[in-house]
A and B are shown apart, each in its own frame.
Chain A
Amino acid sequence: MTIADATGNPTRGAAATASTGIGRKPAKPVDGLGVFLTLLTILGALFWVFPMYWALITSFKPEEDVVQPGIRLWPEHFTFQNYSFVLLNTKIGLWYMNSLVTSGAVTLLVLITSAMAAYAISQLDFPGRRILWWMILASFMVPIPALLVNHFILMNQFGLINTWAGVILPQLIAPVTVMIYKQFFDSVPKDFREAAIIDGATEWQLLWRLYLPINKGITTALAIITFIGAWNNFLWPFLVATSEPMMNITVGITQVTDAFGVKYARWLATATLAALPVAALYLIFQRRVTQAIMLTAGIKG
């Protein structure tokens, strides 16, 4: 068969390609295991996403529809009254601000203190460095809930109950951030450090103008995961902030009650509002969050 071009001349190359099949990608054989794993992942994702979906659609249902028997995957009547109630009748604005301030401060302070501690342990030679490092590693093994009573007594003695400082301070213990920073500072080539020393850099300048900028990606990843962690933290803010105006958004959800019983739709509307900033952050910095989770799990991506 001969294929002719617009001028009527036969295009030999095309004919050859058509007849011999040269230039076509060979069809890939179906990878059975790959298909199975993909289906398994989709199933897992659906299983995981369903409660979120359920919470979201419930928040748009009228309260009486929520308690109807049977499973209704799509609301029969759409309403925004749960959201308007939460926004107009609760202190959600204050709770948001408290969450924003405390989570932002925790993130900033954790990054600053961790970077400085990691730099000192990684790059400086001082007596007790090794012991300090082992202490940081050991502190990683102590679960934070085990320290709740101590923290509460301490904050109470400092007079910091129902204050932002009281919410923030105990959340600054972040050995894993120190460990990750140290790991990355260790891997910065020695030549950079020496070149900067010859250029006249002090240790302080080495940290802020060399080590941290070189590891900017790690800082971003750690910042996001620390912020999300602080935003989602419930137990400590719940204990230390007992007055409603000082509550974080996660604790504030518990205040959306009614004298006439349980209000599921309102609760879920508040929970949706509480989760919104974190969900937005996650969507924007998806790759960085994944990287951060891999880092905290000890996988250097």
Chain B
Amino acid sequence: MASVELRNVKKRFGSLDVIHGVDLSVADGSFCALLGPSGCGKSTLLRMIAGLEPITCGEVLIGETEVSNVPPAKRRVAMVFQSYALYPHLTVRGNICFSMSLAGMSRATQNERADRVAKMLQLEQLMDRRPAQLSGGQRQRVAIGRALVRDPEVFLFDEPLSNLDAQLRVAMRLELAKLHQRLKTTMIYVTHDQVEAMTLADKIVVLDKGTIAQAGSPLDLYNAPANRFVASFIGSPAMNFLRASATSGDGRTLDLTFAGNGAMSVQTRNASTTTPGRDVELGVRPEHVQLTGTEEQTVTLTGTVTVVEQLGNATYVYVDTPAGQLIAEADGAVRIVPGTQVGLQIDSKQVHVFGADGAII
């Protein structure tokens, strides 16, 4: 096991800067998810840690060793690819033993270690099959087995579940979580699926256009996003954003007015940047918006229901207000029809205010 540290790591492809000086520390034994939309540089960052992509400048440390110029095989890392990359001409056993065979280990050692991994991943019955004869989930397990047998200090996963169907993805997610609990090996996991990141990782690094937008625990990112990008990326359904004007403030609180005469007073997180009179955006998660009658005293905004999504355990109600569209999460048993006039009560303690530059206020 080893920690991973990136110091001012940059990557340039020709004249295009892809990674702009990333500093990141992944603790020994941690499960870190690199999360971001397509093209944000998360896979490039992972490949730089693996050594598959040379870094333009900066340092990569695995444990205490600087590995920027160390070949991938010597970094003590193992990688699971999105496509699994199982060698099609070899059996499952051949795939698992490939690295040991290259290293010149004896056949007996290879088989012993392969059998141990196969038992751990329930691959015993599949050892003589070829990748083409396996299902998606089985291939995934073989890919993990191939990584596991190398006994690496760091596991790197590049969107390993994205080729699986929804049901299998959930099952494999659980397998991965169990595997991490059992092995306690450092894992770095690239995904664009925030649910995967939230459920698996103890640290999430949100990347945006080659820079770290925020890094922290899943709940930190969910409850205290550092900027609008992180707030919008984490959470499903996504956070609601309402345009508002800050009318007055005393440094810690801000009075906001919305189009259509809605108003509320909110506490700010960052006192120094609170400036009354500027346009801001209020972010609130659907579970912190409550549906009420239009005549209630506590109502923040009123609007018309446009769409109702009933999931059984919860109901998502889309409401058009003069300030914009909002999604409110209601009880699964609630009965409401589109066209209904409703009041919306926003929990002022659970809101986030963002400036025009997207930074939290």
Residues of A in contact with B (beta carbons under 8 Å apart):
189, 191-192, 194-201, 205, 209-210, 213-214, 216
Contacts and interface: CB of A to CB of B under 8 A. Distances in A.
B229 interface: no
A217 to B, nearest CB: 10
Given A195-B146, A201-B73, A205-B102, 19 more contacts: A189-B83, A189-B85, A191-B83, A191-B85, A195-B87, A197-B52, A197-B72, A197-B73, A198-B72, A198-B79, A199-B98, A199-B102, A199-B146, A200-B103, A209-B98, A214-B87, A214-B88, A214-B89, A216-B89
Interface string B58-95: 00000000000001110001110111010111100000
Contacts of A209: 98, 102
Interface of B: 50-52, 71-73, 77-79, 81-83, 85, 87-90, 98-99, 102-103, 146, 150
A contact face: mostly helix, strand, loop, or mixed: helix
Given A191-B83, A194-B52, A199 B89 contact: no
A191 B79 CA distance: 11
B136 to A, nearest CB: 15
Contacts of A194: 50, 52, 72, 79, 81, 85
Contacts of B150: 199
B contact face: mostly helix, strand, loop, or mixed: loop
Contacts of A201: 73, 102
The 9 closest A-B pairs by CB, nearest first: A200-B73, A199-B99, A191-B85, A195-B85, A213-B89, A191-B81, A198-B72, A200-B102, A191-B83
A233 B71 CA distance: 47
A122 to B, nearest CB: 18
Contacts of B78: 198
16 contacts: A189-B83, A189-B85, A192-B85, A192-B87, A195-B79, A195-B87, A195-B146, A197-B52, A198-B73, A198-B78, A199-B73, A199-B98, A199-B150, A200-B73, A201-B102, A209-B102
Contacts of A200: 73, 99, 102-103
